[in-house]
Amino acid sequence: MQGPPPRPTSFSTALQIYRAQGVRGFYRGLSASLLGVTEGTIQWSLYEQFKLVARVDPARPDDPAAGASWRTSAAAGAAKLVATVITYPHEVVRTRLRQPIPAGGTARYTSLVQSFRRVLAEEGWRALYGGMSAHLLRVIPNAAAMFYVYETCVGFAARSQAVRLVEENDLVVRE
């Protein structure tokens, strides 16, 4: 009785890529990945703007330490949603660029621009958003939790700094 075939290791996969495609095979999809950096930039920029609106608490309008709340989590989720919708096509193109080249064949997707053009021409613009809903279900809660922790840490550091400054000023006044 035979078991399942052994799973490939990182080394065996790297060796297979090198043998089939050479060093260039390790960099397939890199241009689309670099394009993906814009998502984080858009997300942080939007988050800072959304956070200003979210932090307006009528009960505590002057409290900068009241940052970590459901409001900032909502601002983070909204920022991630917008950034993802704007930049998601790069995920599709990156995945297409990383498709394995058939044995004895040629790559169907060869460059960033060629891949965008090919997907649009053959499948239409909707194909650039295929799989986005599942992606959003993963990344939005992650962004909300991450920014909540970030704001909690920043608020803690701000309060600690404020306490330290008050203690230092109190010592100076006593002397």
Name the amino acid, one letter, at 50: F
DSSP 8-state secondary structure symbol assigned to residue 1: -
pLDDT tens readout for residues 55-91 = 756 566 555 555 567 888 899 999 999 999 999 999 9
pLDDT given for residue 58 in this prediction:
58
Model confidence pLDDT, tens digit, residues 84-136: 999 999 999 999 988 888 878 888 988 899 999 999 999 999 999 999 999 99
| Interval 4-25 mean pLDDT | 88
Element (H, E) at 36: none
Q: Six-digit token pair at 43?
A: 């997300």
Contacts of 148 (CB under 8 A, 6+ apart): 68, 72, 73, 76
Q: Are residues 82 and 46 in contact, defined by beta-carbon separation less than 8 angstroms?
A: yes
pLDDT, position 6: 82
Distance separating alpha carbons of residues 42 and 38, to the nearest angstrom:
6
Which pLDDT value is given to residue 4?
80
| pLDDT value at residue 130 | 93
As given in the structure block, the two tokens for residue 171 are: 């010592």
**Which pLDDT score, from 0 to 100, does residue 68 have?**
62
3-state secondary structure 97-108: HCCCCCCCCCCC
